[in-house]
Amino acid sequence: MIRSNVAELLNSNNFLQEVTLKGWVRTFRANRFIAINDGSTINNIQCVVDFEKTEESILKRITTGAAISVKGTLTESQGKGQTVEIQVSEIEILGDSNPEEYPIQPKKHSFEFLRENAHLRIRTNTFSAVMRVRSALSFAVHKYFVENGFYNFHAPIITGSDAEGAGEMFNVSTLDKMNIPKNEDGEIDYTNDFFGKETNLTVSGQLEAETYAMALGKVYTFGPTFRAENSNTARHLAEFWMIEPEVAFNNLDDNMDLAEDFIKSVISYVLQNCKDDISFLDNRLTQEDKSKPAIERNEMSLIEKLNFVIDNNFKRVSYTEAIDILRNCKPNKKKKFQYIINEWGADLQSEHERYLVEKHFKCPVILFDYPANIKAFYMRLNDDGKTVRAMDVLFPSIGEIVGGSQREERLDVLQQKIAELNIDEKELWWYIDTRKFGTAVHSGFGLGFERLVQFTTGMSNIRDVIPYPRTPQNAEF
Amino acid sequence: MIRSNVAELLNSNNFLQEVTLKGWVRTFRANRFIAINDGSTINNIQCVVDFEKTEESILKRITTGAAISVKGTLTESQGKGQTVEIQVSEIEILGDSNPEEYPIQPKKHSFEFLRENAHLRIRTNTFSAVMRVRSALSFAVHKYFVENGFYNFHAPIITGSDAEGAGEMFNVSTLDKMNIPKNEDGEIDYTNDFFGKETNLTVSGQLEAETYAMALGKVYTFGPTFRAENSNTARHLAEFWMIEPEVAFNNLDDNMDLAEDFIKSVISYVLQNCKDDISFLDNRLTQEDKSKPAIERNEMSLIEKLNFVIDNNFKRVSYTEAIDILRNCKPNKKKKFQYIINEWGADLQSEHERYLVEKHFKCPVILFDYPANIKAFYMRLNDDGKTVRAMDVLFPSIGEIVGGSQREERLDVLQQKIAELNIDEKELWWYIDTRKFGTAVHSGFGLGFERLVQFTTGMSNIRDVIPYPRTPQNAEF
């Protein structure tokens, strides 16, 4: 007999069919009703055991977490809470789960406890829902880009160039740390390292993606990136997945259109394809809110928030306008901000971004045309000589979700900027080549995938939306 | 006017429409015919310039590699080799390409030269075709798994456990190599390293994927993996992408079915969706073959080879049968093999695998039930006590493309094996937990994505199927 899965059976009305199902026990009550889950859906299927015909020794082993195989008949359920159930004729215990030892009990565990058991937390409703949504989002990303004529580009992970300057890097090496070879000047001699030079983990695939966009037209990366920053916060990971589209001939307006359309598309996909998981997470958040003081509660439910993003235009505001708004807003005047905004040129902090999004505009915001000196060297200089064609997409709760720009396509302007910043031009010879040969306007952005998963699932800590989080002092599993 | 792309225009019969197109010049001949490519297809579109009405200074700048924008009318072409062309009314040079300096000339370049210019090689027909096929294969992978009820699982890249033993690892650290801290015993003190312990780049996401399969049922990874092996061959990379499905309740037969169905599905996808690119690569290989001595030529064209894999069952052969065949085959008896097969237990080399696939069975082969002592600790021991439920899928030309197994699900057998191999059980506490709590039969495999791209595109060197290859002494770009 072919093995069925729970999702299929719950949607079946082929009653009286004989079925075989394998999965894990979530609960067993009244020596009669087993709730089985196999990961195919957040929902369990009820399996009804005839305890009088079942050996006592078997019944004792039907415990939370045990793997079992059941054969039986699919029937309409008389009970509340489900439409179908399985009348079990045969049951086999595949793998026991000693209830005295099994860490995941059928009760509420703290997220902190579950992080320490990240190999088992996926067996809970919340984490299985989050990770199914993460998987669906991942597919939605690929689907969106492929359907829109983009090519997936695998950026290198180990990189010999560190010019991007997006953050602190992890060093990659095969040198024996007990015997670091040094040259005559007392410097580290990398000639015997694996790559014959110093290498690091990438902080962004953008520069390489640009080289591909200048031939394939539209490309995107979706891969891991790394920051060796000692940030122990609920929104930073040392290892995270990033999505970076790059499009030849797109200017900053096109880039904003792309970012907005992309985000709306992938969130729509999840709303359509993960109804049960999103509904569970929506309910979870609502319950969590009830235990909070009124002022900390969310104004919208999770589903309302997702629909709000899909249904509304992202407000596009220049940095200069944003500074005006912030300078004159109440929290600034009353010195409620930690960083007071006094003048044009200030770097915006999370508190300012959230004020703009959550209090002032009450919708996702795209800020653009930032001061050149707080942004990266590759961003296109505006005619005013002091701002660059940068953009950040800001979301409620999570802040910056996208950072992007039109790239500086003019060879002379780029070279001047590189010289000003004392970047070694030799490090970037290949990048500069793209401006020498057939250069053109182009734009792109980076979107931190985990922030998108956080937003879509309503999880407040970024460590809870990636299977095995890497953070300072933690690389367990 | 909305910008069109070459692929759309070549498929359009909406003649006399006014179009705008941006792209790069491939060739310019007779001061009249520009072949433009924009990456949307391997094909160029012919743009006809009225040279009498175009300034001499503009005509001079229409050189190979230059980025240009043209406006004009789409018309039926009178010339050979194309059905449509653009009668140009306006032309603008976006970015020059000095023909004296531009490395990519409209002629045949060696793959070695192009590897040194990996940022520009994507502007050639061969590499743009390969990378478009790579992108399509990547999407086909996600599509196959999602449509078959799998969840995408992002395995950690930085790992603190090195028990998998699949190969030499790259160390990841933020310690100052000029001042490695040591403890009282003179050992490296990792407490001040970023993660507080020694960490490496992953060689496989399998062990972590198993923990997820034991809750979500069916999962797959698709991400970068690393081997710090000094292998300077045409089939090894230090950084490569790997696909690793893992399925709860699947035994080895199910695992073979999955591998075969998966490979056939993704190759079919490419044949259907990359017709022009595959046709170009097929032709390229045929031309290349003509310059070879008859004995080295391929028996089948690329397209024939791809269809052959789709249309035929993979031959399933036990290791023991394979040894019998090899021991008695001509090249073994005549000592033509570098490694002579004398007895059961020998590890098979590439020459043996290729003999089985290319000479003996003449089709893809799945070898299974290997001797336990040449395979990894997590593979399920057979009742004979000396073989394990391992499988390798062997392909013509490239050899091993898939390695997998049914996993040892029995706690006691697994622990005994770990003890025998002197692996520290504490390192694997979380992996062992999956056998303690609700263990079940499960299986999975790993497929090296670049080998699949090699097979599908007919490229003989693995460095030519990944954008920026990482190999010993090479991490350029």
* Domain boundaries along the sequence of chain A: 3-102, 123-168+203-464
CB B352, CB B337: distance < 8 Å: yes
Q: What is the per-residue pLDDT across B95-146, written as a single tens digit (0 to 9) for each?
A: 999 999 999 988 899 999 999 999 999 999 999 999 999 999 999 999 999 9
Smallest Cβ distance to B66: which of A438, A441, A467?
Answer: A438
Question: Which pLDDT band, with edges at 50, 70 and 90, does B398 fall under?
Answer: confident
Residue tagged 């957040």 (tokens): A42
Query: What is the percent of chain A where pLDDT is above 90?
Result: 91
B137, closest residue in chain A (CA to CA) = A152
- Beta-carbon separation of A216 and B132 below 8 A: yes
pLDDT in tens, B464-477: 999 999 999 999 99
Give pLDDT, residue B224.
98
Strand partners, B412: none
Q: Cα–Cα distance between A89 and A71 in angstroms, integer?
A: 6
- Whole-angstrom distance, CA of residue B245 vs CA of residue B260: 13
Task: Kindly report, residue by residue over A346-400, the tens digit of the pLDDT.
Answer: 999 999 999 999 999 999 999 999 999 999 999 999 999 999 999 999 998 888 9
Nearest to B170 among A172, A473, A475 (CB): A172
Region of residue A459 (phi > 0: left; psi between -120 and 50: alpha; otherwise: beta): beta
Task: Tell me how far apart the alpha carbons of residues B281 and A54 are, in angstroms, rounded to a whole number.
Answer: 63
Residue A218, both tokens: 């539209």
Closest Cβ opposite residue A122 in set B135, B216, B437: B216
C-alpha–C-alpha distance, residues A120 and A65, integer Å: 10
Residue B477 Cα, gap to closest chain A Cα (Å): 7
Residue to substitute from A172, A198, A407, interface B, most B β-carbons within 10 A = A172
- What pLDDT does B164 receive? 63
Q: Which two tokens stand for residue B359?
A: 């000479």
Chain A residues inside the 8 Å CB shell of B430: 118-119, 476-477
| Contact at CB, A128 and B438, closer than 8 angstroms | no
Q: For residue range A140-193, what is the model confidence (pLDDT) as tens digits? A: 999 999 999 999 999 999 998 766 666 799 999 999 999 999 999 999 999 999
- Option in B155, B218, B438 nearest A67 (CB): B438
A48-88 pLDDT per residue, tens: 999 999 999 999 999 999 999 999 999 998 878 788 999 99
What residues in B contact A226, CB-CB < 8 Å? 157-158
Give the E-state strand segments of A270-372 in sequence order.
Answer: 315-318, 365-371
**Mutation choice for A interface testing from B10, B36, B119 by most A CBs within 10 A:** B119
Q: What is the CATH number of domain B123-168+203-464?
A: 3.30.930.10
Considering CB atoms only, which of B97, B201, B473 is closest to A438? B97
Residues 6+ apart with CB under 8 A from A153: A205, A208, A209, A212, A216, A219, A220, A221, B131, B135, B467
- Distance in Å, alpha carbon of A131 to nearest chain B alpha carbon: 8
- B194 and A170 within 8 Å at the Cβ level: the answer is yes
Residue A153 has which token pair? 């580009």
Which residues on B lie below 8 Å from A224 (Cβ)? 154, 157, 223-224
pLDDT at B454 over 80: yes
Q: Which residue of A has its CA nearest to B221?
A: A135
CB atoms A157 and B155 under 8 Å = no
Return the CATH fold of A3-102.
OB fold (Dihydrolipoamide Acetyltransferase, E2P) (2.40.50)
Q: Which of A67, A107, A119 is nearest to A91 (CA)?
A: A67
Polymer length in residues for chain A: 477
Angstrom CA distances, A206 to A220, A363, A418, B20, B432, stand at: 9, 28, 17, 27, 40
Closest alpha carbon to A378 in A335, A340, A332, A428: A428
Say if the Cβ atoms of B216 and A476 lie within 8 Å.
no
Alpha carbon of A45: minimum distance to chain B alpha carbons (Å):
15
Is the CB of A467 less than 8 angstroms away from the CB of B439?
no
Is residue A338 predicted with pLDDT exceeding 90?
yes
Q: What is the pLDDT of residues B46-85, one digit of tens each?
A: 999 999 999 999 999 999 999 999 999 999 988 787 889 9
3-class DSSP state for residue A352? helix
B128, B139, B475 ranked by CB distance to A160: nearest: B475
C-beta atoms of B96 and A134 within 8 A = no
Closest to A348 in 3D by CA, of A358, A402, A334, A340: A340
Distance CA A146, CA B135 (A): 9
Residue B120 tokens, joined: 């520009």
Q: Yes or no: say if A202 and A158 are a contact pair by the CB < 8 Å rule.
A: yes
> Tens digit of pLDDT for each residue in B158-217?
998 766 666 799 999 999 999 999 999 999 999 999 999 999 999 999 999 999 999 999
- pLDDT at residue B406 tops 80: yes
* Pair A68, A93: CB distance under 8 Å: yes
A71, β-bridge pairs: A20, A90
Token look-up 């993606």 returns A209
Q: Three-state SS across A392-447?
A: EEEECCCEEEEEEEEECCCHHHHHHHHHHCCCCHHHHHHHHHHHHCCCCCEEEEEE
Separation between Cα atoms, residue A348 and residue A369, nearest integer Å: 13
Asked if pLDDT for residue B296 goes beyond 90, the answer is no
Backbone angles phi, psi at B447, to 5 degrees: -125, 125
Strand runs labelled E in A206-275? 218-226, 239-248
Buried b (16+ CB within 10 A) or exposed e, A234-251: ebbbbbbbbbbbbbbbbe
Distance of alpha carbon B28 from alpha carbon A132, whole angstroms: 52
B477·A430 Cβ contact <8 A: yes
Choose among A139, A197, A438: nearest Cβ to B475. A197
CA distance B379 to B408: 5
| Residue corresponding to tokens 């070694």 | A424
Beta strands B18-29; B67-76: pairing state: antiparallel
Half-sphere exposure of A26 (CA within 13 A, CB side): 19
Is A197 strand, coil or helix? coil
SS3 for A32-82 is CEEEEECCCCCCCEEEECCCCCCCHHHHCCCCCCCEEEEEEEEEECCCCCC
Nearest-Cα residue of chain A relative to residue B213 = A39
Beta carbons within 8 Å of A116's beta carbon, 6+ residues apart: A476
Which chain A residue shows the shortest CA-CA distance from B441?
Answer: A94
Among A128, A208, A238, whose Cβ lies nearest the Cβ of B215? A128
First to last CA, chain A: 37
CB contact under 8 A, B438 and A212: no
Q: Which amino acid is at B207?
A: L
Q: Give the other-Cβ count within 10 Å of A134's Cβ.
A: 26
Distance of residue A100 Cα from the nearest chain B Cα, in angstroms: 11
In residues, how long is chain B? Answer: 477
The first and second tokens of residue A43, run together, are: 């929902």
Q: Which of A67, A174, A224 sits opposite B440 (nearest CB)?
A: A67
Using 50, 70 and 90 to split pLDDT, how confident is the model at A1? low
Residue B151 to residue A172, Cβ atoms within 8 A: no
- Cβ of B139 within 8 Å of Cβ of A132? The answer is no
Cβ separation of B172 and A175 shorter than 8 Å? no
Element (H, E) at B24: strand B18-29
The answer for B187, left when phi > 0, alpha when psi is -120 to 50, beta otherwise, is: beta
d(CA A221, CA A142): 10
Long-range contacts of B425-431 (CB under 8 A, 24+ apart): B427/B161, B427/B162, B427/B163, B428/B161, B428/B163, B428/B207, B430/A118, B430/A119, B430/A476, B430/A477, B430/B211, B431/A119, B431/B163, B431/B207, B431/B210, B431/B211
Per-residue model confidence as pLDDT tens digits over A251-272: 999 999 999 999 999 999 999 9
DSSP string, B392-424: EEEETTTEEEEEEEEB---HHHHHHHHHHTT--
Closest CA to B285 of B467, B153, B130: B130
pLDDT digits (tens, 9 = 90+) for A98-142: 999 999 988 899 999 999 999 999 999 999 999 999 999 999 999
Angstroms from A9 CA to nearest CA on chain B: 14
User: Letter for the amino acid at A328?
Assistant: N
What is the 8-class DSSP label of residue A475?
A: -
Residue B191: burial class (beta carbons within 10 Å; 0-12, 13-18, 19+): exposed
Interface test with A, best of B28, B100, B177 (most A CBs within 10 A): B177
- The span from the CA of A146 to the CA of B139, in Å, is 8
Residue B75: its H or E element:
strand B67-76
Chain A residue numbers with beta carbons less than 8 Å from the beta carbon of B120 are 211, 215, 433, 437
Closest residue of chain A to B8, computed from CA coordinates: A149
B353-358, Cβ contacts within 8 angstroms, sequence gap of 24 or more:
B353/B392, B353/B394, B353/B399, B353/B400, B354/B394, B354/B396, B354/B399, B355/B326, B355/B329, B355/B331, B356/B317, B356/B322, B356/B325, B356/B326, B356/B394, B357/B394, B357/B395, B357/B396, B357/B399, B358/B396, B358/B397
